[in-house]
Amino acid sequence: MPPHPLTTTPLHFGAFPITPQIFHLTPLSFALVNLKPLLPGHVLVCPRRVVPRLSQLSAAEVSDLFLAVQRVSRMIERVYAADALNVAIQDGVAAGQSVPHVHAHVIPRRSGDMDSRGGGDRVYEMLEGEEGDVGGALREVERTRRERESDGKSESEGDGKKRAFAKSDAERLPRSLEEMEEEARGLAMEMEKELD
C-alpha cells in the first residue's frame, strides 16, 4: 500500500492505532471507518484529543467535531444512497460507551433497511448491545494481531483464524485491515467532493 493520503501522524481511537482507517482529517477531529459496521457506511467521528466525555471538549473542539460530523454525514448519505442518518454519542460508560474517547456514530438509513433484522429501532439496540461494541471488536483484533506477532505469522497467514472467528457472526464480520484501508481511501476521495 502507498503511504496514507491524509497523514503520517499516528492517530488513536482510545488506545487503538487506527491511522489506516481514517478518511477525513480536520485540525481537531478525524473520521474513521468501522471495524464492524452495524449497517454499510456506519462510520465514527472523533476529536483528535483522547478524552472520554463531551463536556471535556473545548468550544473549538466541539465546533470542529460537529462540522466534521455534518460534512461526513453529507458524504455518507450520498455515497450509500441513504435517505436519512442516525447520529449518536454514547457519552460515558452508563450510556453504552465502550472506548473512552468521544465518538459520534454516523449511520446511513433507508426506509425498511432494518426490516430483516427486527425493525428500525434495532439499530439503536445493536449500538448498545454486543453487536455495537466497538471496543470489544477492536480488542479482539488487537489480541489476534499480538498473537500473530508472537507466533511469527504474517498478516495473510492469520486470515484463516480471523475468518473462522468471524463465521459465528454471519451477519456482520469484523473486517480485515486491508478492506478497511481500501474503504477509507475511497471515502477520502469522496470527501474531497464535499469540500468543493
Closest CB to a copy of itself among 78 and 163? 78
Is 103 an annotated catalytic residue?
yes
Within 10 A of 179 (CB to CB), how many other CB atoms are there? 13
Q: Could you tell me which of 44, 10, 14 has the C-alpha nearest to residue 183?
A: 44
Binding of a copy of itself by 15 (CB under 8 A): no
- Span near a copy of itself by CB under 8 A; candidates 25-33, 35-43, 64-72, 170-178: 64-72
- Span near a copy of itself by CB under 8 A; candidates 3-11, 42-50, 55-63, 158-166: 55-63
Q: Give least dist CB 148 to a copy of itself, A.
A: 33
Binding of a copy of itself by 46 (CB under 8 A): no
Whole-number Å distance between alpha carbons of 147 and 57: 36
Q: Which backbone phi and psi does 31 adopt, to 5 degrees? A: -125, 140
Q: Give least dist CB 136 to a copy of itself, A.
A: 15
Binding of a copy of itself by 54 (CB under 8 A): yes
Q: Give least dist CB 83 to a copy of itself, A.
A: 4
Q: Could you tell me which of 131, 129, 107 has the C-alpha nearest to residue 120?
A: 107
Whole-number Å distance between alpha carbons of 43 and 39: 9
Whole-number Å distance between alpha carbons of 109 and 155: 34
Closest CB to a copy of itself among 87 and 166? 87
Closest CB to a copy of itself among 94 and 170? 94
Q: Point out which residues pair with 108 in neighbouring strands.
A: 85
Sheet of strand 29-33, all strands in order from the earlier edge strand to the far edge: 22-25, 29-33, 43-47, 104-109
Residues in region 105-124 near a copy of itself by CB under 8 A: 107, 109-111, 113, 120-124
HSE-CB of 143 using CA atoms within 13 angstroms: 9
Binding of a copy of itself by 24 (CB under 8 A): no
The residues of the shown chain that bind a copy of itself, judged by CB under 8 A, are 54-55, 57, 59, 62-63, 65-67, 69-70, 73-74, 77, 82-97, 107, 109-111, 113, 120-129
Active site residues: 103
